[in-house]
């Protein structure tokens, strides 16, 4: 592989104790799309390569990196590690240039798909890959650097080669690791990895201390599966179980709907926290080294879902200050992270793991503190805040879909931990609910196989939050670069009555669609006596009382209030619940589906209403005809543009989508 990196090498020496980046190797340099010009910005250059980082464990900026002092060091006493990178750089740099750093979710590229309507191809090769190229027309430098150690080593993914920690005497470190599964269909074998990541292997295929349990509900008591009924191994093509330290198989298979959990021993923990330092040092280099290949005056971070949680973790652990005491990011767009952080900086961390109401249970994801400012846990008396007492804080947008209020306890980023009072939002922060939307917008029109069992509703909510998100990105860049105040926060509040406990959420739904009985709430968890040091001794953790999560109230059609409402909610043709239940799936059917919302078109006829006792109005009672609907759409677009939640250039796209929805429903 090293021969790939001989095209260009930039050796970047630093003083002892402040090594940061040792070398940037550029493997490939090319003109984007053959030198195509992007408006006034001109052409872009594509850079691909890898970065060699060096960290001094004694530097105060690195002391939060768990086990860094137990990693191998070079002759200068630095811990070295590599990460691959890519960048799209304007060929004519601007004095006030902005680098937009996408923290890659599981090594993938979402930025252009979410903000430019392009593809997830790492390096764009076609016009379709670029979408409408808004980000390039803005003159932004786009940067990706690997940070996650358990990403598969595959072409097109960004990952890091994290060092391994050992004992002070050089002996291997051994500790507990946990995996769990909610089995969806009959299967004989299960991978220890989550979401295709690289799992820690067991240290012993015959380890008698490994424990597999099964239960039916989130908080149900577990039953131990006898060791004689399962083994570390994988069923092959011939139906025989072959030994495999990263898989388990069970005699007779695993039962759909059941929750299985395995605790086993592993060795050689990766120093996962160096990923946080890689993000910090790559962008510090961009800002403070004029010879940086992706140099810029300002740095803005974008993280979605997993990497939105990573940015919250990054802020909490003080990584926005580099080894020389300088501010790194000037702005952050933290998207659909809810109140979460993650498994990003502890011994045997699995960054791919998260935590949901009925999936990946009790991993260190939803941990106090949740809000930026100081708040008190009423049970422990602990006072803390995500950025409380922090310095050199960026300007922050926290944007969430409605689903994060149901599935990621987003209310706790702006209420007390007791859920009984609204908190003040720091002046460097804005919070926006993109009302009526799910974690990632569902495609439209919906496929028939996504129909909810015995209901006119569909699994998956197609409200497209990408248009308001584009407008917010422009506002954030303007806030960072010019000091232009962004739109005021828009989120549901307790004092207005548009944020409520789940038992007070009212739903006017037909009888064939039942609302959830539960909402995801962060549990107080105990990982053992050394958790403050980043070491888990207790797996599974002891689980205590949850923090109460609240959900947005709804209007007479069942659509959320209290946040920014897109055209779909301002000119409604459907109810857009931001939750979805497991009806028709194995296991507890009242539990929440992972990351999904629901789409329920309004009834068209009285017979349709009567068949399901639908309390909602007919489409015809809201709009006399197509022209009346289009007028309502025009009025909504005007309001959204005035509120800076829609770019004027995106008005036509929003109108086309609204009218396509009308025509599709009329044809049904």
In this predicted model, what pLDDT tens digit does every residue of 498-520 receive, in sequence order?
Answer: 999 998 888 889 999 999 999 99
Q: How far apart are CA 646 and CA 10, in angstroms?
A: 42
Indicate the pLDDT class of residue 203, thresholds 50, 70 and 90: very high
Q: Is residue 350 part of a domain?
A: no
Q: How far apart are CA 294 and CA 284, in angstroms?
A: 11
Q: How far apart are CA 7 and CA 193, in angstroms?
A: 35
Task: Kindly tell me the number of DSSP H helices and DSSP E strands found in the chain.
Answer: 12, 27
Instruction: Pick the closest to residue 334 from 356, 373, 369, 306 (CA basis).
Output: 306
Average pLDDT score over residue span 443-450: 93
Share of the chain above pLDDT 70, in %: 97
- CB 230, CB 248: distance < 8 Å: yes
Q: Is residue 259 part of a domain?
A: yes
| Low-confidence winner among 15-19, 478-482, 581-585, 642-646 (lowest mean pLDDT) | 15-19
pLDDT for 240 beyond 90:
no
Contacts of 297 (CB under 8 A, 6+ apart): 95, 96, 97, 98, 287
Rounded to the nearest 5 percent, the helix, strand and coil shares of the chain are 20, 25, 50
- CB 559, CB 570: distance < 8 Å: no
Place of tokens 């020389």: 324
Alpha helices in 157-205 (DSSP H): none
pLDDT for 7 beyond 50:
no
Domain count for the chain, please give it. Answer: 3
Picking from 267, 282, 311, the residue at the C-terminal end of a domain is 267
Residues 192 and 263 in one domain: yes
Average pLDDT score over residue span 357-384: 96
Residues 282 and 207 in one domain: no
Alpha helices in 132-263 (DSSP H): 134-137
Picking from 224, 251, 267, the residue at the C-terminal end of a domain is 267
467-495 exposure pattern, b = at least 16 Cβ within 10 A, e = fewer: bbbbbbbbbbbebbbeeeebbebbbbbbe
Instruction: Report cis status (omega within 30 of 0) of the bond before 445.
Output: yes
| Low-confidence winner among 7-11, 524-528, 570-574, 641-645 (lowest mean pLDDT) | 7-11
Contacts of 14 (CB under 8 A, 6+ apart): 20, 21, 22, 54
Mean pLDDT of the residues in the chain: 94
Residues 261 and 222 in one domain: yes
Residues forming beta bridges with residue 551, ordered by sequence position: 500
Average pLDDT score over residue span 471-481: 98
More confident residue, 114 or 238: 114
Average pLDDT score over residue span 218-225: 97
The pLDDT of residue 507 is 86
Picking from 214, 247, 267, the residue at the C-terminal end of a domain is 267
Q: Is residue 1 part of a domain?
A: yes
Indicate the pLDDT class of residue 13, thresholds 50, 70 and 90: very low
Residues 538 and 656 in one domain: yes
**Structure token digits, residue 372:** 């930026």
The pLDDT of residue 565 is 95
Residues 101 and 198 in one domain: no
pLDDT for 17 beyond 60:
no
Indicate the pLDDT class of residue 4, thresholds 50, 70 and 90: very low
The pLDDT of residue 344 is 98
Sheet holding 223-224: strands in order across?
Answer: 174-182, 259-267, 211-215, 223-224
Average pLDDT score over residue span 323-344: 97
Strand, helix or coil at 112? helix
Residues 137 and 198 in one domain: no
The pLDDT of residue 9 is 43
Q: Is residue 342 part of a domain?
A: no
Indicate the pLDDT class of residue 11, thresholds 50, 70 and 90: very low
Contacts of 373 (CB under 8 A, 6+ apart): 385, 387, 388, 423, 424, 425, 426
More confident residue, 11 or 315: 315
- CB 424, CB 373: distance < 8 Å: yes
Q: Is residue 304 part of a domain?
A: no
Instruction: Pick the closest to residue 620 from 658, 664, 660, 666 (CA basis).
Output: 666
Residues 150 and 226 in one domain: no
pLDDT for 476 beyond 90:
yes
Domain that includes residue 160, residue range: 1-165+271-296
Residues 191 and 261 in one domain: yes
Residues 218 and 80 in one domain: no
Q: Is residue 462 part of a domain?
A: no
Strands 458-459 and 598-601, bridge-based pairing: antiparallel
Indicate the pLDDT class of residue 54, thresholds 50, 70 and 90: very high
The pLDDT of residue 18 is 58
Q: How far apart are CA 56 and CA 186, in angstroms?
A: 49
**Structure token digits, residue 348:** 């045997």
Residues forming beta bridges with residue 50, ordered by sequence position: 25, 84
The pLDDT of residue 454 is 80
Average pLDDT score over residue span 345-357: 96
Alpha helices in 498-541 (DSSP H): none
Q: Is residue 198 part of a domain?
A: yes
Residues 13 and 95 in one domain: yes
pLDDT for 160 beyond 70:
yes
| Low-confidence winner among 5-14, 43-52, 562-571 (lowest mean pLDDT) | 5-14
pLDDT for 433 beyond 90:
yes
Instruction: Pick the closest to residue 30 from 10, 8, 46, 43 (CA basis).
Output: 46
Residues 113 and 260 in one domain: no
**CA 576 from centroid of its chain's CA atoms:** 22
Q: Is residue 476 part of a domain?
A: no
- pTM higher than the cut 0.85: yes
Average pLDDT score over residue span 150-155: 94
Residues 152 and 234 in one domain: no
């Amino acid at each position: 592989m090293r021969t790939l990196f001989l095209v260009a090498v930039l050796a970047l020496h630093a003083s002892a104790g402040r090594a940061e980046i040792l070398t940037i190797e550029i493997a490939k340099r090319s003109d984007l799309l053959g030198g195509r010009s992007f408006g006034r910005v001109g052409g872009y250059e594509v850079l691909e390569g890898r970065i060699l980082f060096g960290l001094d464990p004694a530097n105060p900026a690195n002391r939060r990196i768990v086990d860094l002092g137990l990693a191998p060091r070079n002759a200068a006493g630095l811990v070295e590690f590599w990460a691959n990178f890519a960048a799209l750089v304007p060929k004519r740099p601007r004095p006030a240039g902005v680098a937009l750093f996408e923290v890659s979710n599981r090594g993938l590229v979402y930025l252009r798909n979410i903000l430019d309507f392009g593809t997830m191809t790492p390096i764009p090769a076609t016009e379709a890959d670029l979408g409408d190229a808004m980000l390039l027309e803005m003159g932004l430098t786009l940067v990706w650097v690997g940070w996650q150690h358990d990403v598969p080593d595959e072409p097109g993914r960004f990952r890091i080669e994290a060092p391994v920690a050992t004992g002070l005497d050089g002996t291997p470190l051994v500790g507990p690791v946990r995996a769990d599964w909610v089995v969806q269909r009959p299967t004989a074998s299960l991978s220890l990895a989550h979401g295709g990541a690289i799992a820690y292997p067991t240290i012993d295929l015959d380890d008698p201390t490994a424990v597999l349990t099964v239960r039916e509900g989130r908080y149900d008591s577990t039953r131990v599966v006898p060791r004689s009924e399962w083994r570390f191994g994988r069923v092959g093509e011939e139906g025989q179980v072959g030994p495999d330290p990263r898989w388990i198989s069970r005699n007779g298979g695993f039962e759909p709907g059941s929750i299985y959990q395995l605790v086993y021993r592993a060795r050689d923990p990766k120093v996962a926290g160096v990923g946080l330092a890689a993000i910090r040092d790559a962008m510090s280099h961009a800002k403070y080294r004029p010879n940086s290949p992706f140099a810029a005056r300002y740095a803005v971070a974008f993280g979605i879902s997993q990497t939105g949680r990573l940015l919250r973790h990054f802020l909490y652990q003080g990584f926005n200050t580099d080894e020389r005491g300088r501010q790194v990011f000037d702005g952050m767009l933290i998207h659909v992270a809810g109140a979460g952080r993650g498994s990003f900086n502890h011994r045997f961390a699995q960054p791919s793991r998260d935590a949901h109401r009925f999936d990946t249970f009790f991993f260190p994801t939803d941990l106090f503190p949740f809000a930026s400012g100081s708040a008190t846990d009423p049970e422990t008396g602990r006072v803390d805040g995500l950025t409380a007492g922090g310095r050199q804080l960026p300007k922050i947008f926290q944007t969430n879909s409605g689903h994060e209020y149901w599935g990621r306890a987003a209310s706790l980023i702006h209420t007390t931990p007791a859920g009984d009072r609204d908190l003040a939002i720091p002046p460097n922060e804005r919070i926006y609910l993109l009302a009526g939307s799910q974690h990632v917008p569902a495609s439209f029109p919906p496929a028939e196989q996504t129909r909810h069992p015995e209901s006119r509703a569909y699994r998956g909510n197609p409200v497209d939050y990408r248009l308001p998100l584009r407008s917010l990105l422009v506002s954030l860049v303007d806030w960072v670069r010019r000091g232009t105040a962004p739109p005021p926060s828009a989120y549901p509040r307790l004092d207005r009555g548009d944020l409520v406990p789940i038992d007070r959420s009212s739903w006017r739904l037909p009888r064939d669609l039942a609302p959830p009985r539960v909402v995801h709430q962060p549990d107080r968890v105990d990982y053992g006596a050394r958790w403050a040091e980043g070491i888990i001794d207790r797996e599974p953790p002891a689980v205590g009382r949850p923090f109460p999560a609240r959900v947005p109230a709804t209007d007479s059609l069942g659509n959320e209030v209290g946040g920014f409402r897109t055209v779909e909610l301002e000119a409604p043709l459907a109810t857009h619940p931001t939750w979805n239940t497991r009806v028709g799936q194995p296991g507890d059917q009242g539990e929440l589906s992972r990351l999904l919302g629901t789409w329920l078109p309004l009834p068209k006829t009285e017979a349709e209403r009567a068949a399901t006792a639908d309390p909602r109005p007919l489409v015809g009672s809201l709009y006399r005809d197509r022209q009346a609907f289009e007028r309502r759409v025009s009025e909504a677009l005007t309001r959204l543009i005035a509120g800076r939640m829609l770019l004027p250039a995106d008005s036509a796209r929003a109108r086309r989508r609204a009218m396509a929805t009308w025509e599709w429903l009329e044809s049904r």
